Each structure stands twice: as C-alpha cells, then as structure tokens.
A and B are shown apart, each in its own frame.
Chain A
Amino acid sequence: MAIPPGVSEQDWADALQQFERIVDRQWLFTSDDDIALYRDAYSPVWGEPDERLVSAAVAPDSAEQVSQVVRVANQFRIPIFPISTGKNLGYGGSAPNLSGSVVLDLKRLNRVIEVDDRRHFAIVEPGVAYFDLYRHIQERGLNVWIDCPDPGWGSPVGNALDHGVGYTFGAYRDHFHSHCGMEVVLPSGEIVRTGMGALPGAQSWAEYRYGFGPTVDGLFAQGNCGVVTKMGLHLLPAPAAYQNSVVTVPRRRDIVPLIDLVNELEHAGLIGMPNYGSAFGRFGPPNPELAELLDRPGGASEAELERFVDRQNRGAWTCQLQFYGSPGVIAAHLQHAKDRFAATVPGSTFRDGELLRFPLTPEQMTRVRRVSVGIPNMEIFSIGARTELNPSPSDGHLWFSPIIPKTGEAVLEAQRVFMEAFRDLGEPSMVSPFSMPATWMYRAFIFIMAFPISRTNVAQNQRTREVFRALVKVAAEHGWGEYRTAPVFQDDVMAAYSYNDSALLRLHETIKDAIDPNGIVAAGRSGIWPRHLRGGRA
C-alpha cells in the first residue's frame, strides 16, 4: 500500500484509523488486492509508471459520513477522488488523476429518494445505477422514462457530472443539462445544497434549478470543488408509442441539406435523437471499389466519391429519425418530415419502422434499440468484444471525442482532416469519407473514435497515446475540442482550451484555491491542479 504523496506515515496511520471509525473496518480498503480493484480496467497506461493507482479506498454510506471522511482528509491533507458507480470506462474508470489518492467510493449511497411521475423528476444518490432507477420506476408502475447512456450500470449522478449523454430527446439526453439541484460536500466537509435546495423545506428542488443568485452547479461537473451526494433529475413523461423511419438521400453533397433539415426537426422538438449512417460507413460491409479509390496516393477527390456513390445506387447517407408520442402525433410529425424532405432533397426516400405501443411485448423488446426507449442495458460492450469477425478482442477502449459543428460541411471537413492526420501519422485511418458523427449532444456532433487498449501490449498503448495526443492537437487547430477524456489526457485537452492565455484554466485554478485550499478533492481533474501540484505555474 502506497502512502499518498506529501503525507507523513504518522498522519496516514491516523487518517486511516479515523476513516475506519467513520465507516467501519469492512468499508475501508487498504490491501493490495482490494485497492487493485480501483485501477482503470481500460487504462491506456496499464502497468506503466504513469498508471494512476490508489493508496486506499473508503466507502461511506451517507452524506454525513462523506462529510466526516472529507473533514479527516482535509485535516491530514489526504488527496481523495470521489467515484459514483465507478464505471466511467473509456474515460478513466474508477482511477484518480493523482496516484496515491484515496478513492471515495460512493457506491453505498444507493438510495432513490424520490420519483414523481406527475411533475416528472427524481432525486437520487450517486451510487444508484440506471438499472436501479429503471427498476424502481417499473416496480411502482410510474409513468416516467429515464434517459440512459449505453451502459446501464452507470450512475445518473456520475454520468451527469462527467457531461454524459443518452438517447432520447435533446433536453433529456444531455444529462448535466437535465440535472436539477445538488447536495454537495465541500472540501471543508460542509454540506451545501444548490438551486432551490438551499431554501429549507424547498418544495421544488428538482424542478427549478436556479434558485436565486449565481448558479454554481457547473463547478462540480468535470470539476474538483466538492463531492456530490444527491442530485435532482428531470424525467421524460412516458410516451404512448414510438416509431422510427430511415431517410436516405441519394447524393454525397446531400449531406448538407440532410443535416440542416434534421436539425430543424430536432430543434423544433419533433424528433428524438437522430442516428446518421451510410451504406459505405465503417459498420457496412467493405466495398472493394471504395477501398481501391481510398488506397491511391492522395486518396479520392470529392468528384470521384460522388461518382462512386452514383454507380453504387444505394444512396449516400441515411438518418434514422425517432418519433415519440401518441400514434396521431407520431403520424403527423413523420408526415411533416417527409413533406420537408420531398420539398428540399430530390430523390430522398423513407423506410418506416413499426409503430410500437407501450408497454412493449418481450418479443418487441428484442427488435428495438433499448436505450432509444429508455431501457438500460449493456449492449455497448459488444464493442471490441470477441465476435466471429473479431477473434482477438481488445482489453478495453479509449474514446477520442471531439465536438464539431452540426453541419454537413463540418462533417466532410472532419473526415478529410482526420484521414489526413492518420495518413501523416502513418497509421491506418479510423475515419473514412463516409464516417458519420455521434449525435448524443443536442446542439453539436461528436466525431467519436474508439482506440483499442491492451493490458499486455505496452508498445501498442504507447503508440495509441502518441496518436491520441496528436489528434487532440489536430482537432484544436481546427477549432474542435474534446468534451471528455481519460485522466492521462486531461491536461492535454484542457491545454487546447487556451483562449486568452488559458484564461479559463486560470479562473478554474483561482476557484479551486479558494474552495479547496489544501487541494484534497480530485487533484488534477480536467487539468485543474491545486497550487502545490502546479509545477512551475503559480
């Protein structure tokens, strides 16, 4: 067991003794075997000197116990790193930024405090998983949906706090946006409530997020100013039915009106999350003619790609539109979408899916993408797992997640820029001229890529990190920044947000120093380090 950096042996022993007194021996983990379970299972530095390891873990079961643990940590200047369910895989898992930190494991704070299906909100603790909240709602027959991200074992609180995203309507799938009110333990151990929660006996904590005065909730998302122990969430009223329809547009240049039109439908609230694709994208079967075009020196020109699409006669791009509501509302919205495309994109065609009324039958459940209808599951873990086509599975993945504008022009530019970057790096491209972005963000795209991670091949991980860091720079040169990343890259990503001599980072540091003068909470999170760990920077 390592001692946290800068902590004397005596202070460490005293702190552990006090942690044990607060949470009971069973919930303080100090053995090598136990603390190894807090490693990032998808670490891109697995087994290397830079891997972020913990010195201990402590698991309180109430906000009051969290407060007591934090007070002890502050007294002895022990760095702590809070996790909710600890499933932030691909973005850091349960490992801290600073090796030697004590993980504050909040999994035992697992209470669903309230769900209201007339006013459509929930209040939960951080150890509650999407599976738990879903089950709570189903068992009581409540008339609300949750918006869940891909893995159902994640925490609605933790996911919101890392700006996580889901699959239904924009206002719900931006999980930080749909949070409403927090309870936070500050580095001093003091407990505060934000928004209406600051008012004793508040009647609308999870409904009106601003309360009165400046809004401080953002300090605790991807931040290190406190430990969130409760959170309000807005929930979606359960719709009566669901239907999707896939629109296909014929020409490559149709990507511009396609995205403009889908933006119009989505931002007007007529559709849920759109899913873009292409018959020639990475999930389609390999096309020998396209491969030949792309393998030529310099790749293929836009004109050549357009002619390729014409010859294939399968359409250039697709978008699955998702409709929710009563069957009548769905029919009207779908017809409106068809009318707009008919008037704007000649040759566009629609393929309507089945109209599904809720509750779904078990058989219908197998034919729908469950996250699209608010049902948490684990299907995402098929990425990188062993399949017939992938006999050598990876040991995890690392997400590269640059935000780009929501336009066809931006998508084509991102394809070109990243293909060129991979070519310059001498690496096989993870991007093709038919790669489409992820659409979880309401008002922007994520041009996401998944890099495989190995627990045995150090050289591969080192090369992945070089490529990743190069892509962060390439993206920044084009005005694109990552929205979320693993601890080992958080300094790199924050460095890209450098407007006016990194004024934003300096502001973060000023706030950090004021709220957490001993720098104990999540040191280094998002590249925000406490004063004593900033190296040459004041």
Chain B
Amino acid sequence: MRSILGVWVVACGLLVPAAQPLAQDREEATIRRGDEVYQYWCATCHGAGPGHPGTAALRAKYKGARPAVLEERTDLTPRSVRFYVRNGVSIMPFFRKTEVSDADLDAIAAYLTPR
C-alpha cells in the first residue's frame, strides 16, 4: 500500500501534499482500530507465550515453517483473515457481526496484512 501511495504522490505533484496525509491518517486509524479489535477478540487465543491455544495449534501445524503468532506472520492476506473470522477452523468458531463488524474485520485484516 505504501509503495502505491508513493507513486501517486510523485504523479500528482502539488495536489498530493493535502491528500496524502488524509489517506495516511485513515490508513493509520484503521490499523490502530485493527490492533485494538485484534487484542480484544484474537490475542486471547493467538497471542505470544503460554496459555494461547490458537498459537499452540499453529505451532503444531507449521512446526517452525511459519510463525505461530499471527502478528508475526508476513504471508496473511485480507481475504484469508476475513475467511477464518467468518468461517472458523477446527475448534475456532466463526464470529457474528455483533462481535466483529465488517468494518472491524477490515481493520483486523489491515492490521495483520504486511504493509
């Protein structure tokens, strides 16, 4: 996302300085919200350290080939994040929209997706 913004900045010249901070602010606000929602709904199972069954399950699944802690992953896509939250996997249930709204799900996806 950041590299696309960079090209746009160069191409649009003087119009950009006003627009760029707005877009960046929005993106940062989304990511901050994603962090907040992630810590509330996801980190209790997928956090680092002992006592996190999601992390333990992914450690057993990937056996070191990928990080077990979701926040350390660099291969997650918004689509995969949305899929697992709305479909669940193994003993992880899916989440209703009164728990994680579509907007909050987009924010989690933005937070977990490499920038």
A complexed with B = yes
A: residues with CB less than 8 A from B are 27, 29, 33-34, 36-38, 41-42, 57, 59, 85-87, 89, 93-94, 105, 107-108, 131, 152-153, 366, 370, 377-388, 390-391, 393-397
Q: How far is the CA of A380 from the CA of B44 in the complex (A)?
A: 11
Question: Is B93 an interface residue, CB under 8 A from the partner?
Answer: yes
- 20 additional A-B pairs beyond A41-B88, A377-B51, beta carbons within 8 Å, are A33-B86, A37-B86, A38-B96, A42-B91, A42-B93, A59-B98, A86-B99, A94-B96, A131-B40, A379-B53, A380-B53, A381-B92, A382-B56, A385-B56, A385-B57, A386-B57, A386-B60, A387-B60, A390-B60, A397-B91
**A370 CB contacts on chain B under 8 angstroms:** 51
**A386 CB contacts on chain B under 8 angstroms:** 56-58, 60-61, 90
**B58 CB contacts on chain A under 8 angstroms:** 386
Shortest B26–chain A CB gap in Å is 21
Query: From residue 86 to 111 of chain B, which have CB atoms closer than 8 A to chain A?
Result: 86, 88, 90-99
Q: A131-B44, A377-B44, A378-B45 are in contact. Are A385 and B53 (CB under 8 A)?
A: yes
Minimum CB distance partner of B101 in chain A: A26
Pairwise interchain contact A107-B98, C-beta atoms closer than 8 A = yes
**B98 CB contacts on chain A under 8 angstroms:** 27, 59, 105, 107-108
**B52 CB contacts on chain A under 8 angstroms:** 378
Q: How far is the CA of A508 from the CA of B81 in the complex (A)?
A: 45
**A394 CB contacts on chain B under 8 angstroms:** 90-91
Pairwise interchain contact B54-A366, C-beta atoms closer than 8 A = no
Q: How far is the CA of A381 from the CA of B92 in the complex (A)?
A: 8
Pairwise interchain contact B93-A89, C-beta atoms closer than 8 A = yes
Question: Is B13 an interface residue, CB under 8 A from the partner?
Answer: no
Question: Is B21 an interface residue, CB under 8 A from the partner?
Answer: no
**B54 CB contacts on chain A under 8 angstroms:** 381, 385
**B88 CB contacts on chain A under 8 angstroms:** 41
**B51 CB contacts on chain A under 8 angstroms:** 366, 370, 377, 379
Question: Is B64 an interface residue, CB under 8 A from the partner?
Answer: no
Query: From residue 28 to 67 of chain B, which have CB atoms closer than 8 A to chain A?
Result: 40, 44-45, 49-54, 56-58, 60-61
Shortest B10–chain A CB gap in Å is 40
Pairwise interchain contact B94-A366, C-beta atoms closer than 8 A = no
Q: How far is the CA of A379 from the CA of B40 in the complex (A)?
A: 15
Pairwise interchain contact B60-A388, C-beta atoms closer than 8 A = yes
| Residue in contact with A385 in the complex, picked from B40, B50, B91, B96, CB distance below 8 Å | B91
**A33 CB contacts on chain B under 8 angstroms:** 86
- The listed residue with most B CB atoms (<10 A of its CB), out of A153, A366, A385, A395, is A385
Chosen A-B contacts, 7 in total, with CB atoms closer than 8 Å, are: A41-B94, A42-B93, A378-B44, A385-B56, A393-B57, A393-B90, A393-B91
Minimum CB distance partner of A396 in chain B: B91
Q: How far is the CA of A385 from the CA of B45 in the complex (A)?
A: 11
Minimum CB distance partner of B40 in chain A: A131
Minimum CB distance partner of A108 in chain B: B98
**A42 CB contacts on chain B under 8 angstroms:** 91, 93
Minimum CB distance partner of B46 in chain A: A378
Minimum CB distance partner of B61 in chain A: A386
Q: How far is the CA of A366 from the CA of B49 in the complex (A)?
A: 9
**B57 CB contacts on chain A under 8 angstroms:** 382, 385-387, 393
Pairwise interchain contact B53-A152, C-beta atoms closer than 8 A = no
**A152 CB contacts on chain B under 8 angstroms:** 44
Minimum CB distance partner of A366 in chain B: B50
**A379 CB contacts on chain B under 8 angstroms:** 51, 53
Q: How far is the CA of A377 from the CA of B55 in the complex (A)?
A: 14
Pairwise interchain contact B97-A381, C-beta atoms closer than 8 A = no
**A89 CB contacts on chain B under 8 angstroms:** 93
- The listed residue with most A CB atoms (<10 A of its CB), out of B52, B88, B98, is B98
Pairwise interchain contact B56-A105, C-beta atoms closer than 8 A = no
Minimum CB distance partner of A376 in chain B: B44
**A38 CB contacts on chain B under 8 angstroms:** 96
Minimum CB distance partner of A455 in chain B: B88
**A380 CB contacts on chain B under 8 angstroms:** 53
Shortest A54–chain B CB gap in Å is 11
**B95 CB contacts on chain A under 8 angstroms:** 37
Shortest A113–chain B CB gap in Å is 20
Closest 8 CB pairs of A and B: A41-B93, A107-B98, A381-B53, A386-B57, A382-B53, A393-B90, A37-B96, A385-B57
**B92 CB contacts on chain A under 8 angstroms:** 381
Minimum CB distance partner of B98 in chain A: A107
Shortest B99–chain A CB gap in Å is 6
Q: How far is the CA of A152 from the CA of B51 in the complex (A)?
A: 13
**A153 CB contacts on chain B under 8 angstroms:** 44
Shortest B81–chain A CB gap in Å is 16
Query: From residue 71 to 89 of chain B, which have CB atoms closer than 8 A to chain A?
Result: 86, 88
Pairwise interchain contact A381-B45, C-beta atoms closer than 8 A = yes
Minimum CB distance partner of B52 in chain A: A378
Minimum CB distance partner of A388 in chain B: B60
Shortest A218–chain B CB gap in Å is 28
Shortest B102–chain A CB gap in Å is 10
**B94 CB contacts on chain A under 8 angstroms:** 36-37, 41
Minimum CB distance partner of B51 in chain A: A379
**A36 CB contacts on chain B under 8 angstroms:** 94
Minimum CB distance partner of A135 in chain B: B40
Q: How far is the CA of A301 from the CA of B92 in the complex (A)?
A: 42
Minimum CB distance partner of A107 in chain B: B98
**A93 CB contacts on chain B under 8 angstroms:** 93
**B96 CB contacts on chain A under 8 angstroms:** 37-38, 57, 86, 94, 105, 107
- The listed residue with most A CB atoms (<10 A of its CB), out of B56, B61, B97, is B97
